Amino acid sequence: MIDHHFKIAQELSISSKQVTATVGLLDEGATVPFISRYRKELTGSLDEVQITDIRDRIQQLRDLDKRREAILKSLTDMGKLTPELEQQINEAETMVALEDIYLPYRPKRKTRATAAREKGLQPLADLILEQGKTDLQAEAEKYIDAEKGVSTLEEALAGARDIIAETISENAEVRAGMRDLFIEKGTFQSKVAPGKEEAGIKYKDYFDWTEPVKTAPSHRILAMRRGEKEEILYLDITPPEDEAMALLDRNFVKASNPSSDQVRLAIIDGYKRLLKPSMETEARLLTKKKADEEAIRVFAENARQLLLAAPLGQKRVMAIDPGFRTGCKVVCLDEQGKLLEYTAIFPHTGAGQAREAEKTVKHLFDTYKIEAIAIGNGTAGRETETFVRNLQLPGVTMVMVNESGASIYSASEVAREEFPDKDVTVRGAVSIGRRLMDPLAELVKIDPKSIGVGQYQHDVDQSKLQASLDDTVVSCVNAVGVELNTASKQVLSYVSGLGPQLAQNIVDYRNQNGAFKRREQLKKVARLGDKAFEQAAGFLRIHGAENPLDASGVHPERYSLVEQMAQDMKCSVRDLMSDDKLRKSIPLQRYASDKVGLPTLNDIMAELAKPGRDPREKFEAFSFTEGVNEISDLKVGMKLPGIVTNITNFGAFVDIGVHQDGLVHLSQITNRYIKDPNEVLKVHQQVEVMVTEVDVNRKRISLSMKEAAAEKTGASSNGARKPVPSGGSNNRQKREPEMDMQSKLAALKAKFK
């Protein structure tokens, strides 16, 4: 077996020393953010992505070792482990290779081959596979035994072929070659199920679709699989069967004689009945796994960008959850997001109700000195925005807020705990307002799968998706840092080294003892030991603390070092934090050691310059085009402002204020070639787009950023390219007729009648 640390180092192009140090820290319970931020000297300044890759890969290799041990034990117990087989198993580097080696020995249900072996036909099968010069008919007649269930020559030969077919299908080398053929040269073929054309209109692009397995993008694979699951599509993976048969012939046909003809019959049977279905299942699993990984990566990146969206900050906010018949729920929040008052208005149900709504909004605006108004972007959102704008409230920032997930939050246990005596509509409005103030603090209360930045989140492996999203939320929370005295337990639970129970214990301690005055007090929290303190302390901030370093990202384990710097400079720590010249005059090399190198020292200097700095961008207000509220209002050629809501491999979805996001295809994002929309776009980015196509019936809007940019600059453009299903071309390939295989089988069988 290859040394795991060396193997990972090769795969990630880093040193074995870095891998060993990182694995050691992970095994000790250190988190990815902590290792990345505070153990740079040990890891050689590996970033979070590299550390996560090491964590995941070492787990894969350890799982492989566990399976290897289980297989070796099983073979030993069966008395079938030979030195050669043991070597093969120990040298297997993937789970697939390991399972291929074990397959012939794996306990299985009764098959046609096992039935044939019970009839004593294994020696005949071995003889046929040798394909030597022998009188096959005479040899086969020796196995005719009515008591064993072999009454005729053909029954003897058929049983032997069943054994050969299973042997061929379980051959590790053949399976590896066939697997490559399915992946490298196989094709996806999807067709609409009869009578499902109207019900499956959203899958119209896949009603007669063929494309190579090797190049099919993840979103199309998941779309076709979803269509199949909903019984709208038939989906197959088909390899070039002539190449498949040639591969089997090369491996098993050794001569040209009656025995060889029997082997060919067994090959055809084994391929059609055993090997092809098995390989198609594997190809489905492999392509699904690859598609899942890519979809999860895209989803996690979108979630990260949304979680790190610019916060409005501590402002007094009025939040409105819009509605027509049921009215708009209005809440007023103070600078910390505390609910001050709530009510309902009905601006869209008649003139009298509208006048009353106007009075109510103006009264609340004046009473609570509102600085910003957040309006949910759901039903009646644009109409409510127009109503509020017409009030001409002075000095107020008005923002349409994506309310995806707000309804899920409002009915959650978290919301019930926060507002036990309020109904779901009030809770939803509060969530909309708080989301404007601090997206990260509010969105962590919602299942990341519900925040509106994914397409196939319910189709992918849910455990892997959850693990990836947990990593993303943890990374975002720790990158921003958490105010210890105001953070909710939901936010605290994502801090490095904590979790739900310790987060609750911190909140309980805070409620019982008042605000934390210094980080050291964390050690008094129930069950928060030295290890948890080490992991968490650097990411928790206490603004206005007794020690100014408690408001920074400087870890408490380095306080003495900063104090020594201040002492050497004959000043206080506060002086170092406020005086740029003092900091620049510090000879950092003097304080470097084996444990504290220049990477950490530079981080400390950056924190002293801007303690507890928020890495998120500055908030910018945004508004949609007035009068464009529904998809029916759109016209080709319109230029509109929009907000990027979702990024995929094939383009970006943009909210232009009509309750249906439009798609900017990858080819329409910029005039230069890009492989990934993330090269130029991010979730929540403000963009200008041009409408290039509108399909009201299918609720599809095609947009172009190239067109909008071209009109600004006067540059020429080739116009919008009509997309095939989310990118790619439909190179149809003819399937080998089923009768070809049937005729081959019939011809060979006829030879022995």
Strands 208-212 and 187-192: antiparallel
Per the CB < 8 A criterion, the answer to whether 210 and 732 are in contact is yes
CA–CA distances in Å: residue 274 to residues 115, 160, 235: 16, 16, 19
Beta pairing partners, 77: none
Domains of the chain plus CATH, in order, are 4-105 (1.10.10.650), 152-303 (1.10.3500.10), 317-437 (3.30.420.140), 631-713 (2.40.50.140)
User: Which residue in the block uniquely carries the two structure tokens 């819009």?
Assistant: 322
Q: What is the pTM of this model?
A: 0.86
Per the CB < 8 A criterion, the answer to whether 372 and 396 are in contact is yes
| Residues of the chain falling short of pLDDT 50 | 1, 713-742, 744-745, 748-753
pLDDT reported for residue 712: 53
Cβ neighbours, 10 Å, residue 7: 17
The tokens for 18 are 């870095």
- Label residue 529 left, alpha or beta by phi (over 0 means left) and psi (-120 to 50 means alpha): beta
Q: Check the CA dihedral 696-701-702-703 and report its sign.
A: positive
Query: Where would I find the H helices in 667-725?
Result: 705-713
pLDDT reported for residue 612: 86
Cβ neighbours, 10 Å, residue 645: 21
The whole-angstrom separation of Cα 461 and Cα 222 is: 11
The whole-angstrom separation of Cα 10 and Cα 57 is: 12
The whole-angstrom separation of Cα 539 and Cα 533 is: 10
The whole-angstrom separation of Cα 106 and Cα 92 is: 17
Per the CB < 8 A criterion, the answer to whether 144 and 150 are in contact is yes
pLDDT reported for residue 61: 97
Strands 700-704 and 662-665: parallel
- Label residue 141 left, alpha or beta by phi (over 0 means left) and psi (-120 to 50 means alpha): alpha
The tokens for 655 are 């909210």
User: Got the DSSP string for 318-361?
Assistant: EEEE--STT-EEEEEE-TT--EEEEEEE-TTS-HHHHHHHHHHH
pLDDT reported for residue 753: 40
User: Which residue in the block uniquely carries the two structure tokens 């890891």?
Assistant: 43
